Structure 1
């Protein structure tokens, strides 16, 4: 994966979470987040809601990348199914990856995961409504 950069999105929900970075290669999107104190639950591990948000963002970004230029708007999450498998703690780095598994004219089907130091933290499968073409 190439260099990671901030996702930007100043003033949005993702900006409020803070620290999310992404890397776009011609054939894949990757996300990265180093866990800060604002990201953990009372157990000291990453909050499940943050994991779901990272999965949704990662899968949607991969759909958008795979569709290429000429889209008006962004993919819209229709359905997201996930499994929480592991945990990550303060200071650890989460990595997200995804792949489109099928597509119709209006929908994209995608699967992905969040890992940390080679451990599987969560996996997901989703359906996104494709944005309109220009």
Structure 2
């Protein structure tokens, strides 16, 4: 388990991850999120801060749901050319919470596009907390309009 960062310290981010601006003002407020995209491997992550936690000192389920709701479509943007610049609003999102993600831990997820139709993308993913599986996610996303140049992830 990781040691929580002190209030004045910058959280340590694993090598290869860089900050990503995606998800609009909501995720900018709740982030930052980080991306590692190397040789076909796409991973997203963030460090659990006190502001992300429930009263038990673990990542709040709502924050985890928000992370998964970004992880799945952002992964599709980077792996499926047909949806790379399309808005992918959520039709359905299912989460199985497997283990807690305590304050200070590194949460990291990767996802796989299972199927793309003319109007939908089906995606599944796995999220870990310091390497321990903590959430299994799956979702269906509508292939929406092309996003404006400045809003592309």
Whether the TM-score (by the shorter chain) exceeds 0.5 is yes
- Deviation of residue 10 (structure 1)? 8.9
Report matched runs for 1:38-53 at 5 Å.
38-53=51-66
- Residue number in structure 1 paired with 2:92: 79
| Unaligned ranges ≥5, structure 1 | none
How big is each residue's C-alpha offset from its partner over 1:3-50, in whole Å with a ceiling of 9 and x where there is no partner?
Answer: 211112496100111221112235242111111111111011000001
Aligned length: 134
Moved over 4 A (4+): 69-72
Report matched runs for 1:76-115 at 5 Å.
76-115=89-128
More strand by share: 1
Give the stretch that moved more between structures: 16-25 or 6-15: 6-15
1:55 and 2:72 are equivalent in the alignment: no
- Bigger radius of gyration: 2
Partner of 1:3, secondary structure, is coil
Cα 1:67–1:133 change in 2 (3 A) is: farther
1:131 and 2:144 are equivalent in the alignment: yes
1:5 and 2:18 are equivalent in the alignment: yes
For the aligned residues, what is the CA RMSD? 2.4
How big is each residue's C-alpha offset from its partner over 1:49-71, in whole Å with a ceiling of 9 and x where there is no partner?
Answer: 01111111000101212222775
| Unaligned ranges ≥5, structure 2 | 1-14, 148-153
Whole-angstrom distance in 2 between the partners of 1:19 and 1:25? 20
